Structure 1
């Protein structure tokens, strides 16, 4: 069947080139003068605000029942709405010692004490596990690497649908570096990697009773952080230097170049403010 979309390289050629000078920077928040209890900022130069789209009007909400919506539509909707998603660049070995390297955007931190990451896999069928997941369940080990801009193309190529037993490492051209506490290697080019042991896994089943996914929790046994990325006193990683890449919907990735900060309010000091008392009085 012919594709409904023009060739990707043709589409890409029509876009402006990658701008390496667009570097990490901070700005103010959208509404620096926001007042407690006033809800959305109402800043009308943001898309849809003037038209009233960012209100609680139920007439603007469409209900979508997962029981009557196809899995493919749910997939497209969820991955384009739950964004941006960090990417776990997962390195594993199968029982024969053959390497596997693949990116997964159903990935995040689960806990810091003990340090634990979570990665979820969808499967080709109810009888077959995705290769990376199968490797983790068999060997109880994996390495989660963070993807950064300098090697995004190489990382993306490892998403190729290669059959089990075919290593993506040589296809990517990335460097496998021997780990210290697990057998799978880490990605040498990654600025931040985590050697993990399997802590727990949980299979997911759809309404028809078919196994369609697996959630894996991995306890971090050892971190590898590029020396210039981590503040030696605060242990905070410099986002501008890490240049992390995230996933949006479809085949879309996102850069991380702009940010604003919002301190977390402390109730003990906030509760005496007049605007807080007025907001609470509305309840």
Structure 2
């Protein structure tokens, strides 16, 4: 059994295992636009949704080797907007290309050869070829302290105000992960790919009304809440 205390005792392994312990992780392929109009695109392996009614997402951006905050964080805070683009198997090389650290005046869309798509509600470009996109309003940034130069991190939280879904990734009106084929981060330099063969279904037992949270069904949640908060008539 390997046991160690991070930052205190050595793990004795050839590479740090921490990130490899939490896998797979969805990729936050985040697009932003600076106050000067420079477009930025970068993937973050510490990303997820937080809740569904209303929907919020977060991405976590560490400092760079010079203790500078990432452009994605700076832009999201300065403009109050950002977008998330699903990272797919077909787009994997572009995702990797936009992970390279560039100066703030570099447009990663152009460097990766990606066509832009104009968002409807925010002034931020999206990846046209990505089949699912979120338009987000910056809600808050939680800054966690860490060891220099890269340990400090900005946890950026945004409210999702618009969602784009390409009909090509739907089956019977539902998003089909086997068609999307999202990629996810594992440990080290490894990734995972969701395919039709890797998907299985399990329904949690118990009160079926509780499943609306797992499904993320806003309408059903509202309906159940309305019934639950009805006032009993007086007699």
- The verdict on a shared fold, with TM-score over 0.5 as the criterion, is yes
The residue aligned with 2:68 is 128
The residue aligned with 1:186 is 126
Looking at CA atoms only, which structure, 1 or 2, has the larger radius of gyration? 1
For residues 25-36 of structure 1, the aligned pairs below 5 Å read none
The residue aligned with 2:163 is 223
| SS class of match (2:129) | coil
2:62–2:151 CA contact under 8 A, matched in 1 = no
Q: CA 1:126–1:174 in 2, change beyond 3 Å: closer, same or farther?
A: closer
The residue aligned with 2:136 is 196
1:126–1:212 CA contact under 8 A, matched in 2 = no
TM-score by structure 2 length? 0.79
Q: CA 1:242–1:165 in 2, change beyond 3 Å: closer, same or farther?
A: same
**How many angstroms apart in 2 are the aligned matches of 1:172 and 1:112?**
32
Choose which of 177, 185, 191 in structure 2 pairs with 1:253: 191
**Alignment of 1:86 onto 2:8:** no
The residue aligned with 1:240 is 178
**How many angstroms apart in 1 are the aligned matches of 2:203 and 2:3?**
34
Measured after TM superposition, the shift of residue 231 of structure 1 is 5.3
1:87–1:245 CA contact under 8 A, matched in 2 = yes
The residue aligned with 1:115 is 55
**How many angstroms apart in 1 are the aligned matches of 2:73 and 2:151?**
13
Show structure 2 runs of 5+ residues with no match. 209-235
1:76–1:249 CA contact under 8 A, matched in 2 = no
Q: CA 1:125–1:155 in 2, change beyond 3 Å: closer, same or farther?
A: closer
Pairwise CA RMSD: 2.4
TM-score by structure 1 length? 0.66
The residue aligned with 2:213 is none
1:84–1:246 CA contact under 8 A, matched in 2 = yes
Choose which of 171, 175, 186 in structure 1 pairs with 2:111: 171
1:178–1:185 CA contact under 8 A, matched in 2 = yes
The residue aligned with 2:37 is 97
Q: CA 1:211–1:260 in 2, change beyond 3 Å: closer, same or farther?
A: closer
1:214-267: per-residue Cα shift (whole Å, max 9, x none)? 11111011000002323575xx31111111111111221111121222221217
**How many angstroms apart in 2 are the aligned matches of 1:140 and 1:121?**
16
Show structure 1 runs of 5+ residues with no match. 1-59, 269-283
Choose which of 65, 81, 84 in structure 2 pairs with 1:141: 81
1:140–1:198 CA contact under 8 A, matched in 2 = yes
| SS class of match (2:122) | coil
Larger strand proportion, structure 1 or 2? 2
